[in-house]
Amino acid sequence: MTRIRLLQFNLALGPLDYRVPEGMEVQPGNTVVAPLGPRQIIGIVWEPDRLPAADVPEAKLRPLLAKLPVPPLQPQLMRLIEWTADYYCAPLAAVARMVLASGGALRGPATTTEYRLSGHEAQSSLRLTPQRRLALDALQGEQATMRELAALAGVSEGVLRGLANAGALEPVQVDIDRPYPPADPDHHQPTLSDGQQEAAATMAQAVDAQRFAPFLLDGVTGSGKTETYFEAVAAALRAGRQTLVLLPEIALTEAFLTRFAKRFGTAPVLWHSSLKSTERRRAWRAIAEGRAQVVVGARSALFLPYADLGLIVVDEAHEVSFKQDDGVRYNARDVAVMRARFEQIPVVLASATPALESLQMAESGTYTRLVLPSRFGGATLPAIRIVNLTEEKPGAGRWLAQPIVAGITERLQRGEQSLLFLNRRGYAPLTLCRNCGYRFKCPNCSAWLVEHRLSRRLACHHCGHETTPPPACPECGEPDCMVACGPGVERIADEVAELFPDARTALVTSDTLNTPDKAAAFIAEAEAGAVDVIVGTQLITKGFHFPDLTLVGVVDADLGLEGGDLRAAERTYQQVAQVAGRAGRGTKPGEVLIQTRHPDAPVIAALAAGDRDAFYAAETEARRDAGAPPFGRWAAIIVSSEDEAEAREAANRLGATRPELPDVEVLGPAPAPMALLRGRYRYRLLLNARRTAQVQAVIRDWLAEHRHSQGVRVSVDIDPYSFV
Ligand code: ADP
Ligand code: ZN
């Protein structure tokens, strides 16, 4: 090939053609360096027939500068990138960029110098000081960097350098990225229950068959879904193929790593956004070169260039956090299924509370449903009781009604644990002035500032804006006049401390558990029984397994139902069912108390009755009536600008040329529920379409007619989760 088409990452420019210089071999999928004006850019060589570009005569083409020393992207990954860009109406380059997620790795292998004993240390000319003798003894069979050897031998690096100069230590060039220890599929195989065994065998067979096979692993909380899909992972290991396990939250990885190591003898390879750049390079290279056997990661791990992917698992597949809400707005659960399809491998969606979309796919036979109907080891599902807040009112300034207080009291007496769930960070969601009614509002967003008493600040949960609470009202000047309205988890923890001064309480939110170390410390404490009452946000609703936890209190089950979000009922059901699933996982039975002002709401009634099927049946009908997924489709177009009038006018211009089609309805434009977000004014158009409509094509054609001024941003969200 002498002429290539380059997918480069400057979105304003589009694909460019280059000449391949003498002596360079490139193929589609190669990552290369090319000149652009005076600069150098990186891009991926693409098949020209799949990527239209401006026609530039041969003579004008500039030569490529270099080919980067990484394996070419495989065709199936390139097809996935195209599909994702197409489906989510995102620029191809923006999707492709997610693959090249480590700048360090693109520079290729690098070496570092390690040292080991040369075998010549017995030579007579070597002067043996006591320090040197100590080092020689300690370093038998070792090989590492000078610094590591010095630490190992307990001598200074100077002593070792002397030994190297004398020829007793010899240098060895090794790859700077150390290999990962191998996982052993037979390290510790648990005895599976019959149900687990059957599901595990089905998945393992699919791994061996090397064909596209989507599974819904639908098992109640505590049924041992992890142990079960671990057998599919073992099958992939035995076949020498890679596995990707997607988890919804980094906070969950700690517990996962421990379980994985118990089963396979070593930790998996981690991938998430807060990896250090050296760890990122090491992981990326091991993934691309096929040395990373099992990768556990957040959604961004989905687009990495696996050399030989054999299995994908999406754990807690119903979780909202698999949906990315900025940049490329994709849903990792759905893209995972597409990736499995392009790779021709099985994909497992595991959940106790599947999304209606996933259940529907199982019911229509597109996905194979594997059911684990009961908890492992004879544990029973907890008893669920409704606490009607209109009858059982908590005292003034209190949020816990008598049944929960009594429940905690009992657990404390029995030495068992309780968990209180409220999905609201901070102390109070709204702060106002007692004197004039002034409310503390974010200057950048349509949102109240949330008081965080522990860190003494008022914070916006949307843009990160923070201030310290002022000593007087900024409006009327009245000193000490601030009143906290409504509860956040910090306030619930305060109430617990007042009611039970001797109880040991742990507050679990993304503010307190913000590093893997803190998550590990919390798990260790809770497992050791050093915590009596856990108060937390959605972070504690899933993944954790504390056998002595026997009471779960849901402080406000109505919270999620406000706001009119399309998936509000489903999300409430999932959150409450998941947090309820933390109770009674050991030998002691669990109890769940749900505080609500709407005990008759269908979702609350279904939770109380423990009737999952009734909930899904009712929800299915409601969605069918509303033309909502999976029966119809939604797409959102958000037009934003720092200038209110500019945003409004751009949205109105779009609205004026709305497509008139029988199967697509356009609602709006209207100010978005978050009419101001991070300093930008926002208008929204919503599309509701029949399932068969070509929504993406309609949107692309529609938007292509419009040119907006510089300050206007138009973003498209296909299958949106967030309706703000
Ligand atoms: P789920 O993810 O379905 O809620 P888990 O995978 O967390 O359930 O399993 C619940 C508990 O039961 C865990 O402590 C797990 O280690 C244990 N468990 C599940 N299956 C087995 C098994 N076959 N042998 C031993 N322990 C098991
Ligand atoms: Zn804000």
Q: Which residue has the higher pLDDT, 723 or 42?
A: 42
Task: Please write the tens of the pLDDT for every residue from 335-371.
Answer: 999 999 999 999 999 999 999 999 999 999 999 999 9
In this prediction, residue 466 carries a pLDDT of 94
In this prediction, residue 370 carries a pLDDT of 98
| Contact indicator for 552, 384 with CB cutoff of 8 Å | no
In this prediction, residue 563 carries a pLDDT of 63
Task: Please write the tens of the pLDDT for every residue from 221-273.
Answer: 889 999 999 999 999 999 999 999 999 987 778 789 989 999 999 999 999 88
Name the burial class of residue 470, with classes exposed (0-12), middle (13-18) and buried (19+) by CB atoms within 10 angstroms of its CB. exposed
Q: Which of 545, 549, 578 to mutate to test the pocket of ligand 1 (most atoms within 8 A of CB)?
A: 545
Please give the structure tokens belonging to residue 666.
């356009």
Identify the residues whose C-beta falls under 6 Å from ligand 1: 190-193, 196, 219, 221-227, 376, 545
User: Distance (Å, rounded) from C-alpha 516 to C-alpha 689?
Assistant: 42
Ligand nearest 449 Cα, by number? 2
**722: pLDDT strictly greater than 90:** no
Under the banding of pLDDT at 50, 70 and 90, the label for residue 512 is: confident
Q: Which of 189, 218, 226, 585 to mutate to test the pocket of ligand 1 (most atoms within 8 A of CB)?
A: 226
| Contact indicator for 89, 700 with CB cutoff of 8 Å | yes
Ligand nearest 582 Cα, by number? 1
User: Distance (Å, rounded) from C-alpha 490 to C-alpha 445?
Assistant: 23
| Contact indicator for 399, 492 with CB cutoff of 8 Å | yes
Give 266 Cα–ligand 1 centroid separation in angstroms: 19
Task: Please write the tens of the pLDDT for every residue from 387-408.
Answer: 999 999 998 889 999 999 999 9
| Contact indicator for 31, 68 with CB cutoff of 8 Å | yes
Name the burial class of residue 110, with classes exposed (0-12), middle (13-18) and buried (19+) by CB atoms within 10 angstroms of its CB. exposed
- Tell which atom from ligand 1 comes closest to the C-alpha of 379: 12
| Contact indicator for 297, 283 with CB cutoff of 8 Å | no
Please give the structure tokens belonging to residue 617.
């049946």
**124: pLDDT strictly greater than 80:** no
Tell me how far CA of residue 635 lies from CA of 57, 328, 700, 716, in angstroms.
40, 14, 12, 7
Give 192 Cα–ligand 1 centroid separation in angstroms: 9
User: Distance (Å, rounded) from C-alpha 369 to C-alpha 100?
Assistant: 35
- pTM of the predicted protein model: 0.91
Task: Please write the tens of the pLDDT for every residue from 599-628.
Answer: 998 899 999 988 899 999 989 998 998 888
In this prediction, residue 4 carries a pLDDT of 95
Tell me how far CA of residue 261 lies from CA of 161, 253, 272, 542, in angstroms.
37, 12, 19, 20
- What is the CB-side half-sphere exposure of residue 382 using CA atoms within 13 A? 30
Under the banding of pLDDT at 50, 70 and 90, the label for residue 324 is: very high
pLDDT mean across residues, the chain: 92
Give 223 Cα–ligand 1 centroid separation in angstroms: 6
Under the banding of pLDDT at 50, 70 and 90, the label for residue 647 is: very high
Which of 598, 580, 576, 597 has the alpha carbon at shortest distance from 589?
580
Q: Take atom 19 of ligand 1 and give the residue whose Cα is closest.
A: 224
Task: Please write the tens of the pLDDT for every residue from 170-193.
Answer: 999 988 888 899 999 999 999 999
Give 362 Cα–ligand 2 centroid separation in angstroms: 40
Please list the residues that pair with 428 across neighbouring strands: 451
In this prediction, residue 515 carries a pLDDT of 78
User: Distance (Å, rounded) from C-alpha 208 to C-alpha 234?
Assistant: 11
Q: Which of 371, 376, 380, 578 to mutate to test the pocket of ligand 1 (most atoms within 8 A of CB)?
A: 376
In this prediction, residue 1 carries a pLDDT of 57
* φ/ψ (deg, to 5) at 323: -90, 125
Please give the structure tokens belonging to residue 411.
């657990």
What secondary structure letter does DSSP report for 378?
Answer: G
**89: pLDDT strictly greater than 90:** yes
Please give the structure tokens belonging to residue 653.
């211009």
Give 458 Cα–ligand 2 centroid separation in angstroms: 11
E strand intervals along 51-132: 66-67, 111-117
Give 466 Cα–ligand 2 centroid separation in angstroms: 8
Under the banding of pLDDT at 50, 70 and 90, the label for residue 564 is: low
Work out the number of other CB atoms within 10 angstroms of the CB of residue 38: 5
- Tell which atom from ligand 1 comes closest to the C-alpha of 219: 3
**208: pLDDT strictly greater than 60:** yes
Task: Please write the tens of the pLDDT for every residue from 427-453.
Answer: 999 999 999 999 999 999 999 999 999
- Tell which atom from ligand 1 comes closest to the C-alpha of 581: 4
In this prediction, residue 314 carries a pLDDT of 98
